[in-house]
Amino acid sequence: MEDEAGVHARGVTRAFGPVQALRGLDLTVPYGQVTALVGANGAGKTTLLLILATLLAPDAGEIRVAGHDLRTRPEAARTALGWMPDTFGAYDQLTVAEYLQFFADAYGLTPPEGAARTAELLTRVHLLEMARQPVHVLSRGQKQRLGLARALVHRPKVLLLDEPASGLDPRSRVELRDLLRSLAAEGVAVLISSHILSELEEIADRVVLVERGATAGEHEIATLMAEARGLWRVRALEEEPLAEALDVRRVPYRRQETGGLDIGPLTEREAAVLLGELVGAGARIFSYAPVGGALESVYLAMTEDRT
């Protein structure tokens, strides 16, 4: 059965002994988009990804991957999904090409198909020159790229990645971003967990915030960016005189947990005029700049009340 989304999960729960890792989590991962899972350490992201990859059973919940119910059709779901874990498995004695051919074989590709697919993927993840090297000589980042190629061997409709950028150098990160964007453009439903918020803004279309095992919010990245546009972060030696000067002028502001006030929305001209007035009113301002990192702001606001 075809489904409207690559992943459709409702009310997913999972406990490990006394630890309730997931408590009724909902998630939709549309085709043709990159969805990012963001949450604090221990929020439940890896647990969720393992469940979606059919490697861990949930205690309860309704889950369909590529339209296949994980309870009744796990094999069909497995055929439709690609999974890249955050750590690399064994098979160290194989060469890079043999490693991919092994998985092509496991997914039922004929030897010529497997060889062609291996060459195509090694080119795509920039490992062609390493094809004859044993896997164990690869660096961490190269292993991660091989792991991504492995996840793509059978042209999955749903791609699940746990922290894929963590071992990558800056160039490889840009290449990963481009690769994920091109897969989404080809119609793949991509779900990625990551802590690198600034990067997700460029990779992802949507972000799902996970907090203590449940969905805490879902945002379109484009909307977040638009909301952050026109906000300015101001820091002063003393915050109270600055806040009073803003109150007098009826300029809206929000205090940031990390220090400073976010004011606006203001145009550049308005911001420049206001800066002159605030300094004139005695505020000892040492920093005044447009707010960057929309995703980071939402994330920090979400975790503000953490105990």
- In the bound state with ligand ATP, the residue whose beta carbon lies nearer, of 47 and 172, is 47
192 binds ligand ATP, rule: CB under 6 A: no
161 binds ligand ATP, rule: CB under 6 A: no
- In the bound state with ligand ATP, the residue whose beta carbon lies nearer, of 41 and 307, is 41
> CB–CB of 27/9 below 8 Å?
yes
* Residue recorded with tokens 């000892």: 284
For the segment 45-104, give every residue that binds ligand ATP (CB under 6 A): 45-47
Q: How many of the other CB atoms lie within 10 Å of CB of 3? A: 18
User: Using omega within 30 degrees of 0 as the cis cutoff, is the peptide bond preceding 265 cis?
Assistant: yes
Q: Which of 16, 249, 254, 284 binds ligand ATP (CB under 6 A)?
A: 16
Q: Quote the CA–CA distance of 26 and 215 in Å, as a whole number.
A: 6
Only one of the segments 42-50, 123-131, 199-207, 226-234 lies at the binding site for ligand ATP (rule: CB under 6 A); that segment is 42-50
* Residue recorded with tokens 């300015």: 232
CB of 221 to ligand ATP, least distance (A): 20
- In the bound state with ligand ATP, the residue whose beta carbon lies nearer, of 179 and 210, is 210
Size of the site for ligand ATP (CB under 6 A): 11
CB of 226 to ligand ATP, least distance (A): 28
Q: Which of 1, 2, 18, 41 binds ligand ATP (CB under 6 A)?
A: 41
Q: Which of 19, 55, 60, 137 binds ligand ATP (CB under 6 A)?
A: 19
HSE (CB half, 13 Å, CA atoms) of 247? 7
Q: Quote the CA–CA distance of 234 and 66 in Å, as a whole number.
A: 47
156 binds ligand ATP, rule: CB under 6 A: no
Closest to 175 measured CA to CA, from 183, 162, 196: 183
- In the bound state with ligand ATP, the residue whose beta carbon lies nearer, of 42 and 89, is 42
Q: How many of the other CB atoms lie within 10 Å of CB of 291? A: 20
CB of 70 to ligand ATP, least distance (A): 17
Q: Which of 25, 27, 36, 43 binds ligand ATP (CB under 6 A)?
A: 43
What are phi and psi for residue 66, nearest 5 degrees?
Answer: 50, 35
CB of 208 to ligand ATP, least distance (A): 12
CB of 39 to ligand ATP, least distance (A): 5
* Residue recorded with tokens 């690869």: 138
Only one of the segments 41-49, 134-142, 170-178, 246-254 lies at the binding site for ligand ATP (rule: CB under 6 A); that segment is 41-49
- In the bound state with ligand ATP, the residue whose beta carbon lies nearer, of 44 and 61, is 44
Three-class secondary structure of residue 94 per DSSP: coil
Which residue type sits at 20?
Q
Sign of CA dihedral 217, 159, 166, 34: negative
**Token digits of residue 163:** 């922290």
Which residue type sits at 236?
A
**Token digits of residue 54:** 């059919």
CA–CA distances in Å: residue 128 to residues 8, 70, 98, 132:
36, 35, 12, 9
Per-residue mark of binding to ligand ATP, 20-39 (x: CB under 6 A): -x-----------------x
116 binds ligand ATP, rule: CB under 6 A: no
Residues found near ligand ATP in the complex (CB under 6 A): 16, 19, 21, 39, 41-47
